């Protein structure tokens, strides 16, 4: 199992405001360990399963080499792809739950893929889920945010 964590927040804790629409809206720093041997690439999804219209994709990062072990705040390594989020844009879409809603869960899931993800840049979540379904291992980090 992959251990996925952030130096900015603990699993099951509140997402710091700076990573939301109420702050700077930058992606948080993440790091991981325990990627199994034989992994060719990594896919990261950030989803809100509590969104009013169903699961909302805030971020997808893919075509990450298996030796990648972290993402800096607000950055992705050169050559790594980002997909189209549910806002209709490529890249990180900061969490922004409706005001007054109960706290929403934001689930980061890292997938260890046994082959290279041959998905074009700006891919939608359907294509990425298809590739992610072949994962050898996953890591999950969940945070919450409410406005």
pLDDT tens, residue by residue, 102-134: 999 999 999 999 987 678 778 888 999 999 999
pLDDT of residue 116: 77
Give me the numbers of helices (H) and strands (E) for the chain, helices first please. Answer: 1, 8
pLDDT tens, residue by residue, 10-59: 999 999 999 999 999 999 999 999 999 999 999 999 999 999 999 999 99
pLDDT of residue 124: 86
Which two structure tokens, joined as six digits, stand for 137?
């291992």
pLDDT of residue 112: 97
Q: Where are the domains of the chain?
A: 3-134
User: Quick one: residue 92, left, alpha or beta (phi over 0 = left, psi -120 to 50 = alpha)?
Assistant: beta
pLDDT of residue 15: 98
Q: In the CATH scheme, what architecture does the domain 3-134 have?
A: Alpha-Beta Complex (3.90)
pTM, to two decimals: 0.96
Report CA torsion sign: 39, 121, 28, 71: positive
């Amino acid at each position: 199992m992959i251990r996925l964590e952030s130096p900015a927040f603990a699993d099951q804790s509140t997402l710091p405001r700076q990573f939301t629409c109420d702050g700077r809206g930058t992606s948080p720093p993440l790091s991981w360990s325990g990627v199994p041997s034989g992994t060719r690439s990594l896919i990261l999804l950030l989803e809100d399963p509590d969104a009013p219209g169903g699961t909302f994709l805030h971020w997808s990062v893919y075509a990450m080499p298996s030796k990648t072990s972290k993402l800096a705040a607000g950055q992705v390594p050169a050559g790594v792809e980002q997909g189209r989020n549910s806002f209709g844009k490529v890249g990180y879409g900061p969490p922004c739950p409706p005001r007054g809603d109960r706290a929403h869960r934001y689930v980061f899931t890292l997938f260890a893929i046994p082959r290279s993800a041959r998905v074009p840049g700006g891919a939608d979540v359907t294509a990425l889920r298809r590739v992610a379904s072949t994962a050898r291992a996953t890591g999950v980090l969940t945070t919450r945010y409410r406005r």
